[in-house]
Amino acid sequence: MAADRRVGVAMDFSPCSRQALRWAVENVVRDGDHLIVVNVQKEVCYEVGEVQLWEATGSPFIPLSDISDPAIMKKYGVKPDAETLDVLNTVSRQKEVVVLIKIYWGDPREKICEAIDHIPLNCLIIGNRGLGKLKRVFMGSVSNHVVNNGACPITVVKSTEHET
């Protein structure tokens, strides 16, 4: 594969998505790749003009330097944790990877599938909280929906930490 691969990682900054990010960095991301963090916010927190522009298409690509700036991320309603930022900064330096984040607003199941097509991604890594069958019926499974509807190879990294 060419060095211009676009590897996506669906991140909500939960422990299971951080585990998926670490797995992607250790097993998939290679020197020269673009690592694109796909984040979906449930609520829109923008001024009117920006909402209308970005609600359908997502935010512009945000570079790693801006992801690390709390003031900029606050504008987008995103709070990346220190561990995630450390992983992103490390992979950027060690593998010379271009790290970007793209933020969407709405239903994570639909928006992640849209991101696969619109970016477009060569592959996507997504975490799985390991919900039991009953909880999955009531709460739904984002990873299950993306696996069944996404238009690229998708890897689901099952969490070893059980969330409630």
Query: Residue 30 corresponds to which amino acid?
Result: R
Q: How far is residue 40 CA from its own chain's centroid?
A: 8
Q: Which CATH superfamily is domain 6-158 in?
A: HUPs (3.40.50.620)
The CA distances from residue 75 to 33, 66, 67, 79, 149, in Å, are: 27, 11, 11, 10, 31
Dump pLDDT digits (tens) for 103-136: 999 999 999 999 999 999 999 999 987 655 554 4
Dump pLDDT digits (tens) for 35-55: 999 999 987 665 555 556 677
101 versus 139: the higher-pLDDT residue is 101
Structure tokens at 162: 């059980």
Q: Give the mean pLDDT of 147-154.
A: 93
Q: What is the domain partition of the chain in residue ranges?
A: 6-158
Query: Residue 116 corresponds to which amino acid?
Result: I
Residue 102 has pLDDT above 70, yes or no: yes
Q: Which residues contact 84 (CB under 8 A, 6 or more apart)?
A: 11, 13, 18, 21
Q: What is the pTM of this model?
A: 0.86
- Which of 15, 55, 20 is CA-nearest to residue 37? 20
Contact present, 77 and 41 (Cβ < 8 Å): yes
